[in-house]
Amino acid sequence: MHQDKENLVDLNAIWETLRIGRWKLFLSVILGIALAGYMAFVRMAPKYSATAVLALETQVQRIDGIQGVVSDMPLAGYSNELVLFTQLEVFNSRLLMGDVVRELDLQNSPTFQKDVESPGYLAFLFPKPNAPERAMETQSTLNAAIDKLLKSVDIKLVPNSFAFHITAHSPDAKQAQDIANTIAKRYISAQLENKKTATSQATIWLTERVSDLKRDLESNERRMREFDAKTALLTEEDLQSREIKLKEMRARAVDMQTRHDQMLDAIMVQSDDPAVQFKSTDRTIVTTAKLRGSTQFNRVKEQLSNLNQAIQLAADEIHDQANDFQTLSQIRRETEASKNLYEFFLTRLKETSIQQGIQRADSRLLSRAELPMNTSSSSKKLMLLMGGIVGFLCGTAFLFIRQGLRQTFQTSDELAQAFDIPVLGAIPRIAHRRGQSINAVIEDRQSSFAGDAMRNLRTTLMTNTPKTLMVCSALSGEFKSTYSRLLSQQIASLGKRVLLLECDLRRVSFQSEFGAPDDGSLIDILQNNHPEDQAITRDEKTGFDTLPAKGGIENAADLLAGSPFREMMEKLRTQYDVVIIDTPPVLLFPDARIVGQFCDQVVMSVRAEKTRRQDVHQALENLRMSNANIAGLVLANFDPRKQFGNRLGRERFRYQQQRLWT
């Protein structure tokens, strides 16, 4: 369950990020609106739009009726969607747009050479060179003009119809009108030219085919005449009658063959051979055999042979004549076919020739583009709104990216979540003039937010009543010396005896506030056994004592680690209620680690939006290795508006107002 909660989006963190960076976000929105305003009112030229309406003809009446020679738009047999999208590609073709550019001479038009597109928001940072300034060849200039024309024209299909809206955009109203009307006119002209080209090509092809067919027809007719002249052909009826006579001759030959066989049998019956004398018992055969002799049999045999020869000759003649007749019929059919094809294509050639010049386009212009009177540029209000939205999104992205990359702390909550150490307090920024003491500012504004924050810190620290308290920081410039003085003043205001001990022996910081020591310093005590009471001075205005250091000592760590410093600390414990020690930065010098061993509590100052996370972590680790008792952290110089917003200020104001109760 805990893991699920961690995976949820932290809306509060998102809100806090936006709230803290609200002024940057506001500036980003203003910048986006300013850029959009610049584009809308300065960079973006006025743009006019003109629209022509063109419709496709779904049923075109053909005069010639020729299928496949001059075809109309193939709406039948194909889906309307395919046809319409194909025509969209025709509208956007470079060939069509090139004809429009050449007809209107757009490649040399100064108005058209201007950027017909709305420039981008950052276009003014990277301006494009004007087209006339480019040294381009004629073809390159034409291609550039075609590209611009394609970008400045919108071709849209009207839903559920065969109509197209042709909209042209241009800084010149008349030019926009001419472009829209010229595109429609060139589209219709292109259809007519395509039909004329198809008709012309069909005419040429038909002419060639008619010539070829005419030659074939003449060749077949010549073959038929030559074949008819060299052969004595009968008609089909004569050929059939000859076949009938041949059948009769074959029937007579069969009868004669029967007689021949019978006579042969009779001759065999009259034989002297006993084996065959009873071969036939037919009385007729016996009688016939008696009546006729071998002479008559030979005559019948000769007639039968002659008849068979006549039949063979007649069959051969009929076969030859049938082949000739079949060849002639084939020649006649080829001639007739050539004649029919010739007449057919001759008729189509005449029809196609008549068709030329009377073709009708597959589309018609429904509405010509009128001269636009008002600009069609994007709404300036909409552009300003979009600029603000883009600015807001960019600012938001910047805030979250910076938040993700930030390694410093803005609020005490961030500091507490980063380390397992309590945050004792948070001191806001103290506004003061250069050279003015921060202590004086706190005294003048006792009821200020900074004064209350210091008193809160004092209350937290005095809960455990430490005798010695060390104030340190990871690096320099983190207000540790300032807070040491302010904390000493706040604790002294409670009537306690407080000593502010300056253990920064390398750089003097107290002299600017309390003046240079006259009767000795901490260095004199540690090196020369100077009496402590003579080096300690009292500031009657702030109410606490100070023991300054002159500074400029290279072996400061050695002096602080020696027994004189330990003995001095034991003596000061007995003389004061609280000893507050100001030390050098922890990461720069080992002085703070040495002094921390002799202190009851250690407080580290972390400057908001400056001290990095890894620096604080390393400083704490160094103090822990020295067995220092780290009481907690103090967020220094933070912006109250980033942590509390304006809510805390309003609440303080309301609380301090005098209320009248009735």
Residue 662 lies in a domain: no
* 637 within domain boundaries: yes
CATH for 131: 3.30.70.1130
In a domain, 68, yes or no: yes
Nearest to 300 by CA among 271, 259, 341, 328: 259
Same-domain status, 436 and 397: no
CATH value at residue 529: 3.40.50.300
Asked if residue 225 is part of any domain, the answer here is no
pLDDT tens digits, residue range 54-69?
888 765 444 444 444 4
CA pair distance 290, 78, nearest whole angstrom: 96
Same domain, 22 and 90: no
Q: Are residues 411 and 394 in the same domain?
A: no
Backbone angles phi, psi at 634, to 5 degrees: -130, 125
Kindly state whether residues 104 and 155 are assigned to the same domain: yes
Say if 156 falls within a structural domain. Answer: yes
Q: Is residue 25 situated within a structural domain?
A: yes
Which of 203, 166, 169, 204 is closest to 188 using CA atoms? Answer: 166
**Is the separation of the CB atoms in 115 and 128 below 8 Å?**
yes
Tell me the pairing of strands 544-547 and 601-607.
unpaired
Residue span of the structural domain in which 23 resides: 8-44+381-405
Look at residue 62 in the predicted model and tell me its pLDDT: 43
Intervals of the chain under pLDDT 70: 1-9, 44-45, 58-79, 113-137, 230-236, 238-239, 260, 263-297, 355-359, 376-379, 431-448, 508-519, 551-552, 643-662
**394 shares a domain with 450:** no
Among 158, 275, 217, 632, CA closest to 424: 632
CB 52 within 8 A of CB 364: no
User: Do 234 and 187 belong together in one domain?
Assistant: no
Write down which residue in 367, 396, 419 finishes a domain. 367
* Angle of the 173-230 helix axis to the 80-91 helix axis, nearest 10: 120
Q: Could you tell me the CA-to-CA distances from 492 to 321, 503, 543 in Å, in that order?
A: 153, 20, 6
Same domain, 154 and 22: no
Asked if residue 239 and residue 181 are part of one domain, the reply reads no
Does a structural domain hold residue 222? Answer: no
Q: Is the pTM of this model over 0.85?
A: no
**Whether 419 and 548 share a structural domain:** yes
pLDDT of residue 518: 60
Residue 386 shares a structural domain with residue 526: no
pLDDT, residue 351, reads: 76
Handedness of CA 407, 408, 414, 418 (dihedral sign): positive
451-504 pLDDT tens trace = 788 888 898 888 888 899 999 999 988 888 888 888 988 899 888 999 999 888
Indicate if 301 and 398 belong to the same structural domain: no
Please give the full DSSP string across 49-108, using - where no structure is assigned.
EEEEEEEE-S-PPPSS--TTTS-----TTS-HHHHHHHHHHHHT-HHHHHHHHHHHTGGG
Cα–Cα distance measured from residue 240 to residue 23, given in angstroms and rounded to the nearest whole number: 119
Domains held by the chain: number:
4
Residue 153 lies in a domain: yes
125 and 251 fall within a common domain: no
